[in-house]
Amino acid sequence: MTTEGFIVLDEKTLREYIKKTPSLFSKVGSDDVDKLEVKEVGDGNLNFVYIVTSSSGSIVVKQSLPYVRCIGESWPMTKERSYFEATALKRQYGLSPKHVPEVYHFDRTMSVIGMRYIEPPHIILRKGLIAGVKYPLLAEHMAEFMANTLFYTSLLYLTTTEHKSAVAEFCGNVELCRLTEQVVFSDPYKISEFNRWTTPYLDGDAEAVRNDNILKLEVAELKSKFCEKTQALIHGDLHTGSVMVTHESTQVIDPEFAFYGPMGFDIGAFIANLLLAYFSQDGHAAQGNDRKAYKGWIMDTLADTWNLFHKKFTTLWDIHKEGPGEAYLHEIYNDVELRELVKQKYMTELFHDSLGFAAAKMIRRIVGVAHVEDFESITDPVKRADCERRALDFAKMLMKKRRNFNTITDVISAAQ
C-alpha cells in the first residue's frame, strides 16, 4: 500500500527508514542497522508501535495507518491523527517534561513519530492496577500533568489570539473527535452493532441505559460540552492504558485524540478509569488477598489526584494572575475576595464536568464497544457482571447527581 510517499513500515523497511533518518539513527548509535532489534508491541487498538534497540540505545517508532488497526481497512481513519498526536506530544512535553516522552522525529507523510523509549520497569498503569501494585507518586504526577497541560493551554494563560489559532488547528482532528462522540456519547444509549456487555447477566442493565431518559438528557449536555467547549488542549484519551508507570515515574502517552475541548473530559477519563479499577477489584480478590487495602489505596489516589490537581491548578492561576491570560484580566479581578469567588466558581464547574465525563466514560466501558482489561480479565462471568453492574449503577447515579457533590471525598463515600 502506497499513497504519495507513504509506505506501511515493517521490520525491514523500518530499518531502512531509520538508516536514512538522522534524528532517529543518532539515537540508536552507529551500529549496522541490520543488527537493530525491532519489536512490534502495539497493544492499542489503533496504531503500530515498534521498539527499536541497539547496543547503545532504544527508541520507539509509532506509525498510524489510514484505518483502525484492530478492525482493519474496513474502518478507515485518517492517518493525519499522527500529526495531532505529535503536535500534542510536543506541546505537552513542553509543559510537563517529566511526564511526557520526548519526540525525536515526526514525518507527516509517513505518519511516523519517533520518541523516547519509556524503558522497563515502566508498565502500562492499567496492568499495574489489575496486579494490585501501589504507585505512591501517581496522584502527584497525574495532577501535575493535568494542571500544567490544561492550565497553560486555556484562556487562563493564553491570549485569545493564541487560543483561537490553536483551536482552529486542532479542529482538523475531527475524525478522532467523531470516534469519541460515537463510542462515548452515542452508541451506549442506543442499539448499535458495536455495543457489547457481559451477556446475559447485564442484558437488562444495558437496556435500562437505553431507556433512561434522565441519563440521556444528561449525556446530551456532556456531548454538547465535548463538541462546543474549547476550554483547553485536552489529551482526549486519558485512561489508564495511556499512562506508563514505575514507583518513581509516570509517563503519559498516546494523545492522538487531542483537541481543544472541556478540561473535565481528561480529568473525568482518569477518574473513571480509577473507579473502574476500584469496582473490578473484588473480581481479582483471591485467597489471602481480599484486595481491601488496595481498594483503599485506589480511592486515596483518586482523592489525592483531584485535590492535588485543584491545588496545583489554582496555584498556577495565582502565579500567573497578572500574566498573558485574557479570561480574567487582573485589572478587573484584583480584589482578593473576588478572586476567591471566581476560582471557586470555575473549579466547581470543572469538578462537576469531570464527574459527568467520568460517568460517561465508565458507562461506555461496560455497555459500549471497547471494554477494559480490569473487568475483561475477570474470567467468571457472574463475578464480572456483578462488578460491572455496581460500577454501572454508580456511574448512572454520578451522571445524574453530579452537581450535588461538593468534594471528591463525597464521591468516594458514595462509591464505597
Ligand X SMILES: Nc1ncnc2c1ncn2[C@@H]1O[C@H](COP(=O)(O)OP(=O)(O)O)[C@@H](O)[C@H]1O
Residues that bind a second copy (CB under 8 A): 155, 160-161, 163-165, 167-169, 171-172, 174, 177-178, 181, 186, 189-191, 213, 216-217, 220-221, 223-224, 227-231, 326-329, 331-333, 335, 337-338, 341-342, 345
- Specify which residues 37 forms β-bridges with: 53
| Partner interacting with residue 118 (select from ligand X, Mg ion, a second copy, none; CB below 5-8 Å by kind) | ligand X
**Strand 37-40 versus strand 243-245 pairing type:** unpaired
Give the nearest distance from C-beta 372 to Mg ion in angstroms. 9
| Partner interacting with residue 1 (select from a second copy, Mg ion, ligand X, none; CB below 5-8 Å by kind) | none
Give the nearest distance from C-beta 186 to a second copy in angstroms. 6
**Among residues 232 and 253, whose Cβ is nearest to ligand X?**
253
| Partner interacting with residue 333 (select from ligand X, Mg ion, a second copy, none; CB below 5-8 Å by kind) | a second copy
**Strand 6-7 versus strand 67-68 pairing type:** unpaired
Written as nine digits, the cell of 84 is: 495531532
Among 21, 24, 33, 47, contact with ligand X (rule: CB under 6 A)? 47
CA–CA distance, 152 with 61 (Å, rounded to integer): 28
Q: For the packed helices 292-319 and 138-151, what is the interaxial angle rounded to 10 degrees?
A: 30
Among 103, 253, 258, 299, contact with ligand X (rule: CB under 6 A)? 253
Q: Work out the number of other CB atoms within 10 angstroms of the CB of residue 136.
A: 11
Written as nine digits, the cell of 170 is: 486542532
CA distances from residue 91 to 112, 119, 267 in whole angstroms, order as listed:
17, 22, 18
Segment contacting ligand X by CB under 6 A, of 39-47, 264-272, 317-325, 392-400: 39-47
Q: Is 43 in the site for ligand X (CB under 6 A)?
A: yes
Peptide bond into 262 cis (omega under 30): no
Residue nearest to ligand X (CB): 44
Among 92, 95, 101, 291, contact with ligand X (rule: CB under 6 A)? 101
| Partner interacting with residue 239 (select from Mg ion, a second copy, ligand X, none; CB below 5-8 Å by kind) | Mg ion
Surface-to-core class of residue 352, CB atoms within 10 Å of its CB (0-12 exposed, 13-18 middle, 19+ buried):
middle
Residue nearest to Mg ion (CB): 44
Among 18, 88, 124, 299, contact with ligand X (rule: CB under 6 A)? 124
Binding site for Mg ion (CB under 5 A): 44, 46, 237, 239, 254, 256
Scan for cell 488497526, then name that residue: 69
The helix (H) or strand (E) run that includes residue 114 is strand 112-116
Give the nearest distance from C-beta 116 to ligand X in angstroms. 6
DSSP 189: G
**Among residues 45 and 407, whose Cβ is nearest to ligand X?**
45
Alpha helices in 40-115 (DSSP H): 81-95
